A and B are shown apart, each in its own frame.
Chain A
């Protein structure tokens, strides 16, 4: 049992069903992947815009 499972149940709040918990987990993974891809894309665009000179250290 991890730390999240040991938290007291919040009976007054929104209680998610197993399907909703699964959807939330999938959403989190999708957002993480999207952010990682966006970082990779901006890095690649930066290199492409600067040209091959940046790889040779010529600025």
Chain B
């Protein structure tokens, strides 16, 4: 029996076959969105090591594990709710629920159980501010973004991007027990990075989102407006990426890398805005999408290297 019918219609009254037999461990790992988790681990690590307090490696490892499992759990809840549209989009139709490898209720239970464990563990291991932020992040991604914003407004990923921006702030809070200007700067980098990153993807996957009825910017406001907004957000991203350097939180190495990488991203965003015809238009969007991932990785890699390696050795 399939749990998927049409958009917004779900057959949840009875258990499906997949609910009763369950999937293989790899299917449950896929529910956690491992690629998103890897970014969460990395950015949370940056928040943890950049904090001006020493964290015991075992406590740091446990905190990172809890944050990543919490992020994975919110991914499982997202896949549970979005199973109807996931079955329509080519990008997502092989996911465990639409492909029938895991039942919807199984995924819901899995997501809720892991969320509870992750929040409780982070609270016990570090502090309840960090645990509260993790709980809010899961709620924000699963309820505010997935259930409300995603199907309602083309600004879905602008506001929903906050969910992806919280991990470094949670890492910082896990280490210090507080929220400060430095952690807000790390949050802002991911928050303002999200729109150009996802809209670049939406430009060359707009057919997919359109068929699924998801109001992404290109489907609602058109490709031209999306290209302009990508450029404007990329422009705004330059000072935001430099802000850790401006406030004296990061050193010169970070400033140079952030400036060069932000300008490369801005140049690619300019090409997306300019190349509106022919084969180049999709190529530019794909290049921006790929580079945006590298851009974020570079910034947080420098933060991890500077605070985790260079400063302890007295080299920065």
20 contacts between A and B (CB under 8 A): A14-B21, A20-B21, A22-B24, A23-B21, A23-B23, A23-B24, A24-B21, A27-B22, A27-B23, A27-B28, A41-B65, A45-B58, A45-B59, A45-B62, A45-B124, A47-B58, A48-B56, A48-B58, A48-B59, A49-B56
B22 touches A23 (CB 8 A): yes
Question: Taking the complex as formed, is B312 at the interface, i.e. its CB lies under 8 A from any CB of chain A?
Answer: no
> Which A residues touch B124, using CB under 8 A?
45
Interface size class of A (residues with CB under 8 A): 10 to 19
Cβ < 8 Å to A, chain B residues 20-45: 20-25, 28
Cβ < 8 Å to B, chain A residues 3-59: 14, 16, 20, 22-24, 26-27, 29-30, 41, 44-45, 47-49
A14–B18 Cα distance when bound, in Å, is 11
Distance between A41 CB and nearest chain B CB, rounded to angstroms: 6
> Which A residues touch B56, using CB under 8 A?
48-49
Distance between B19 CB and nearest chain A CB, rounded to angstroms: 11
Distance between B58 CB and nearest chain A CB, rounded to angstroms: 4
Question: Taking the complex as formed, is B147 at the interface, i.e. its CB lies under 8 A from any CB of chain A?
Answer: no
> Which A residues touch B24, using CB under 8 A?
22-23, 26-27
A23–B103 Cα distance when bound, in Å, is 14
A14 touches B125 (CB 8 A): no
Distance between B120 CB and nearest chain A CB, rounded to angstroms: 11
Give the nearest-CB partner of B125 in chain A: A45
A49–B65 Cα distance when bound, in Å, is 17
A25–B125 Cα distance when bound, in Å, is 32
Cβ < 8 Å to A, chain B residues 221-277: none
Convert B118-162 into 0s and 1s, putting 1 for each residue whose CB lies closer than 8 angstroms to a CB of A: 000000110000000000000000000000000000000000000
A41 touches B62 (CB 8 A): yes
Distance between B23 CB and nearest chain A CB, rounded to angstroms: 6
B59 touches A49 (CB 8 A): yes
A30 touches B25 (CB 8 A): yes
Distance between A46 CB and nearest chain B CB, rounded to angstroms: 10
Give the nearest-CB partner of B29 in chain A: A30
Give the nearest-CB partner of B20 in chain A: A14
Give the nearest-CB partner of B22 in chain A: A27
A48–B125 Cα distance when bound, in Å, is 10
Given known A14-B20, A41-B65, A45-B125, contact A26–B25 (CB-CB < 8 A): yes
Distance between A16 CB and nearest chain B CB, rounded to angstroms: 6
> Which B residues touch A41, using CB under 8 A?
62, 65
Give the nearest-CB partner of A25 in chain B: B24
Cβ < 8 Å to A, chain B residues 27-81: 28, 56, 58-59, 62, 65
A41–B58 Cα distance when bound, in Å, is 8
> Which B residues touch A23, using CB under 8 A?
21-24
Residue among B21, B56, B62, B124 facing the most chain A CB atoms (10 A cut-off): B21
